[in-house]
Structure 1
Amino acid sequence: MRFTAEQRSFADAVRTFCARECGTPEQRAALTAGGTWADSPDLLRRFAELGWLGISLPSEHGGQGGTFVDECLFLEESARGLAPTTGYGTGLTAAQTYLHWGTEAQKDTIVGSICAGEFEAIALSEPGAGSDLASARMPATLDGDHLVLDGQKTWTTAAHLARHVLVLVRTDSSGSKHDGLTLVMVPADAPGLTIRPIDTMYAHTVNDLYFTSVRVPLDAVVGTVGGAWRQLTRGLGVERLIIAASSLGAAQRSFDDLLSHVTQREQFGRTVGSFQAVRHRIADLAAEIALCRAFLYDAADRLDHGDDADLSRDSSVAKIRCTEAAKQTALEAVQLMGGYGYAREYGMEAQVRKALAPPIYGGTNEIQREIISRSLGL
């Protein structure tokens, strides 16, 4: 698609900001406690001050009232700039469900929080229910005008920084596994909720959540009791586009760094990039990134125009291609940069570690292939 002059200017502004504020390893280390955090609350608030957060969220609830294409531009360029604000996308995902099913008060609270530079979280997975979300079992028991939550959620992004957690619970076990699921808005500081970090190969971003008699009022239910499965469907489709946009930015950054290296590094009296074996591999990466960008922004543009009939399938395609492009580009960059790609000093090894997660979260890419195949009647 063709971007407007305003959209191109916006993308340039995000790129310039990231280069200035988090463009060096030293700046990123200062923002992330030496690389131990995946997210910087300080940087997210600075994005908020510029009016760049919630750009696609409706203005009547405190958002910027822009398009989802605008949102993808921000996600792509902030990821390309290595901005440590991964958890922002999780808040956007949660917002989709609140906006379509929540009360007016819930919408105002969540959109206002996101646009102010706060994190919001969504807790779906359990130790026994990851890709098979409909098998979630964590119970919420009715006690007067409250629900009482007991159990565990896992792999919850940014919960340690969030103001609220959108929690998937089971309120009825008498029907099919897709019935009886309910979404509840829980304050992250609710009594009885314990949040513990999960140590990963990248940085602290995901958590285990333990609920011990956590009480929430019935007006904390998002949508209808027992209706969560239908309510989640559209939000998860948009989540896949959010992940795809960030992964596209990550792929482009790895490509940029690789291209810079091979056009400067010399061996045998010539630049490494001048060897056919190298430049053809780089050409393949460039072609894949270009195709990913075209497909992603076409899907985002159709969503903006209300054409979401194929959102489930198209968002799965976008997630597969963009996340795998990010992983492949980073891995190829390590190989083509040689020892420099493997060394921590040059940053590519960190981009590899970060690129390994998106093909897994937000629904594994194997599950995305199942969604696509079912859409074809297979």
Structure 2
Amino acid sequence: MVNFTDEQRAFAQAVADFCARESGSREQRDALTDNGRELHSQELYSKMAKLGWTGILVPEEYGGAGAGNVEMCILLEEAMRGNAPIGGIGPTLITAAAYAKFADEQLKKEVLTGVADGDSLAISMSEPEAGSDVAALTCRAEKVDGGWVINGQKTWCSNAHFAKSILLIARTSRSGSKHEGLTQFHIPAGTEGLEIKGIDTLGGREVNDLYFTDVRVPDSAVVGKVDNGWNQLMAGLNTERLILAAMQLGVAERSFSDTLAFVSERKQFGRPVGSFQALRHRIADHATEIEATKLLVYSVAEQSDADPTRLLPREASMAKLKATETSKKMTIDAMQMMGGYGYATEFDAERLMRGAIISTVYGGTNEIQRDIIGKTYGL
């Protein structure tokens, strides 16, 4: 059991109550998401912003809560467990953390104040030939008088179709190793020369292709230092992987509670199906896995809060790996235990499963996470 403070327990309950009230029924969620076609409801997100939650990590001087990673994980866990359709929150928090660390004062004020007010952000790294190997990207930013000109294609960019701005990772130099010569740029929505095209997926409208054609940005668009983008990305991995882990912990818990309710009520052969040993043991295994995952996620959050400058490559990768694999297994098994009802769109099981499966791919595939963990042991 995680030892939360009284304030943290009260916060968790407040988020749970909000989700139950605002998006607790299928009818409410359908109304907020165009019958499930959209993963992010700005209407609901704006209500969270008024409560100070979207700026959970934003420093107080920019209108945020100035809270730590533990509180962030509480928010994400409870929101996902409560089925809140705010799919844009993960990429937004990941991107906001980068601005908080590396942007100049003017850009921090603009972007972080907006996040606290309910703006969404996107971060664009992947390219058609640069997915797991991010350092192989070729989208090019060339220096010109007073600014930069950007050309190239990006892909799999979450939030880009509704984000206030995009944090772009582009190549600015080819000197040194391939990890050198990368720079982060602030690209406001509607920038001339930027085309955004949605990618059809099983999960609805979520990710996009981005096309940059002679996109001009001023020198002030550089976030951090020129050619230092890789080091800046590495500095944000603790937060990124914690965000993904906390969200999938909440998904696993939601799937578990829905499945438990179903197998407790559904009867076959004159008794609840959950009373049969095959299902009872599976439920016991999942409950144990979820508890172990929660302890790991919050342990990493506490370590990161204790020393924000400390990189936790092993622990953060373990948290992302464990949470997403647990969520995937829980949601797949939920469909099996619910039978045909798990496959029907009338229930949430199939939607939870789709989201859990893709979570093992984004934010660094789980194969990459295993490779990172293995390297920390000298392998």
Which of the five TM-score ranges fits, normalised by the shorter chain?
over 0.9
Match of 1:194 in 2: 195
1:130-169 CA distance string (max 9 Å, x none): 1000001111111101100111111001011111100001
Helix, strand or coil for the counterpart of 1:284?
A: helix
Helix, strand or coil for the counterpart of 2:160?
A: coil
Counterpart CA distance in 1 for 2:226 and 2:18 is 44
Match of 1:147 in 2: 148
1:41-96 CA distance string (max 9 Å, x none): 11110100111112122112221111211110000010111111111111111122
1:8-58 CA distance string (max 9 Å, x none): 111111111111111111111111111111111111101001111121221
Counterpart CA distance in 2 for 1:204 and 1:236 is 26
Contact 1:62/1:108, CA 8 A, preserved across alignment = no
Counterpart CA distance in 1 for 2:360 and 2:300 is 19
Q: Say if 2:372 is the partner of 1:371.
A: yes
Contact 1:147/1:215, CA 8 A, preserved across alignment = yes
* One-letter code aligned to 1:358: S
Match of 2:337 in 1: 336
Greater shift after overlay, 36-45 or 47-56? Answer: 47-56
Match of 2:297 in 1: 296
> Equivalent residues in 2 for 1:11-22 (5 A)?
11-22=12-23
Contact 2:193/2:214, CA 8 A, preserved across alignment = yes
* One-letter code aligned to 2:204: A
Counterpart CA distance in 2 for 1:116 and 1:165 is 17
Greater shift after overlay, 298-307 or 202-211? Answer: 298-307
Compute the displacement of 1:174 (Å): 2.9
Greater shift after overlay, 327-336 or 303-312? Answer: 303-312
1:154-204 CA distance string (max 9 Å, x none): 100101111110000111123221111111001121011111111001111
Counterpart CA distance in 2 for 1:154 and 1:170 is 15
Counterpart CA distance in 1 for 2:112 and 2:287 is 36
* One-letter code aligned to 2:27: E
Counterpart CA distance in 2 for 1:21 and 1:150 is 42
Counterpart CA distance in 2 for 1:356 and 1:117 is 28
Counterpart CA distance in 2 for 1:86 and 1:186 is 21
Match of 2:313 in 1: 312
**Length-normalised TM-score, structure 1:** 0.98
Counterpart CA distance in 1 for 2:377 and 2:212 is 40
Match of 2:177 in 1: 176
Contact 2:238/2:304, CA 8 A, preserved across alignment = no
> Equivalent residues in 2 for 1:90-101 (5 A)?
90-101=91-102
Compute the displacement of 1:309 (Å): 3.7
> Equivalent residues in 2 for 1:98-177 (5 A)?
98-177=99-178
Match of 1:357 in 2: 358
Helix, strand or coil for the counterpart of 1:157?
A: coil
Counterpart CA distance in 1 for 2:119 and 2:343 is 35
Contact 1:258/1:337, CA 8 A, preserved across alignment = yes
Alignment length (residue pairs) = 378
Q: Once the two structures are aligned, what percentage of the paired residues are identical?
A: 49
Counterpart CA distance in 2 for 1:223 and 1:86 is 27
Contact 1:194/1:210, CA 8 A, preserved across alignment = yes
Compute the displacement of 1:310 (Å): 5.0
Helix, strand or coil for the counterpart of 2:58?
A: coil
Match of 1:217 in 2: 218
1:329-355 CA distance string (max 9 Å, x none): 111111011111111111211111111
Match of 1:275 in 2: 276
Counterpart CA distance in 2 for 1:237 and 1:55 is 16
Match of 1:67 in 2: 68
Where structure 1 has 5 or more consecutive residues not aligned to the other structure, the ranges are none
Counterpart CA distance in 2 for 1:64 and 1:169 is 31
Contact 2:141/2:151, CA 8 A, preserved across alignment = yes
* One-letter code aligned to 1:121: A
Where structure 2 has 5 or more consecutive residues not aligned to the other structure, the ranges are none
Contact 2:159/2:207, CA 8 A, preserved across alignment = yes
Counterpart CA distance in 2 for 1:223 and 1:288 is 40
Contact 2:187/2:221, CA 8 A, preserved across alignment = yes
- After superposing on structure 2, the runs of 4+ consecutive aligned residues of structure 1 that deviate more than 2 Å are 307-310
Greater shift after overlay, 330-339 or 229-238? Answer: 229-238
Counterpart CA distance in 2 for 1:348 and 1:314 is 30
Contact 1:102/1:223, CA 8 A, preserved across alignment = yes
Contact 2:238/2:311, CA 8 A, preserved across alignment = no
Counterpart CA distance in 1 for 2:259 and 2:285 is 13
Contact 1:234/1:312, CA 8 A, preserved across alignment = no
